[in-house]
Amino acid sequence: MQRILIDTDPGVDDALAILLAMKSSELLVEAITTVSGNVHVEQATENLLRILELLNLSKYPIIAQGEAQPLVKPLVKAEHVHGEDGLGNISMLRNPDGSSRYPPIYCDLSTISGVDLILEMVNRYPDELVIVALGPLTNISKAIQKDPERMQTLKGIVLMGGVFSEYGNVTTTAEFNVYVDPHAAHDVFNSGVPIHIAPLDVTHQVALTGKRLDSEIEGRSDIISSFLKESTQACMEFYREHVGFYGLHIHDALPIGMLTHPQFFKSVDAYVQVETEGNLTSGMTVADLRRERQDDSPNASVCVEVDADAFLNHFFERVLT
């Protein structure tokens, strides 16, 4: 069983990834840290508590709130994609008695920061812990800055971020997580920690359509089915208007699958660099992914292909069980 710490900015696709991780017997989610990205970190923490409430767990991971602002740039958020609350506005939904349909769990957050919890968990599980990074890399960068030697004992970092051969989803050249904090991404890619990346190039290969979701939850009345339907509607409407299909890409779920079912994925080793200053290219990730031109000193393994059907089947099998 792989011990992991999830660093996240929920976010609809983050929510799907967290559900998948918590329902994967191959993984032991020791801790979850939140960071500003899709929404401000305070909203991200509330969203995480709503997601965990769905699972009726006997024991919850350690939870800590992380960084509110990127290292250098002003914060850019994505409520226009994910809804005002980041989860498709489910916080506004009410039961007939007026109670919240999706209340957050009531549990104590860690008294230490997200950055310090990362360092504490790395210290507790040296050479065992994998960080799964689903948002901007601010927390992880600050942990590296604070104690680089300790962070070298990470088993690895698996992250959703970057784009190499497609257009970005924020600017022409940049993917959201890296764009929000390119300086943090630069630090992480140059940390010497083993890194595995699921970029937009591969997450765009997995499209969850509204039709597929409806077919999977038809006839079901459980809370997770309801959550999948109601939390994804705002995203799906955004995709219909701006991308051209009624559905969404479940970006952040792919790093979870990379850990539990690596046979679904193909990757290449590469030297990944991040543009931090360009007026037109800030947040751009640059690497030569041509197999015949592999660099002698790669700093990451970049996923380039996924068996989309197998992954989606696996996703629903796990999340709806």
Instruction: Give yes or no for a contact between 129 and 154, defined as CB atoms under 8 angstroms apart.
Output: yes
- Which of 199, 182, 192, 195 lies closest to 275, judged by CA? 182
Instruction: Give yes or no for a contact between 8 and 240, defined as CB atoms under 8 angstroms apart.
Output: no
Tell me how far CA of residue 255 lies from CA of 16, 18, 277, in angstroms.
12, 11, 28
Q: How far is CA 97 from the centre of its chain?
A: 34
Q: What is the DSSP string of 271-297?
A: --EE-SS-TTTTTBEE----GGG--SS
Which positions are annotated as active-site residues? 251
Please report where in the chains the tokens 């069980």 appear, as a residue. 321
Instruction: Give yes or no for a contact between 181 and 71, defined as CB atoms under 8 angstroms apart.
Output: yes
Q: Where are the alpha helices (DSSP H) in 95-209?
A: 114-124, 138-146, 148-151, 176-180, 182-189, 200-203
Q: What is the DSSP string of 157-168?
A: EEEE---SSS--
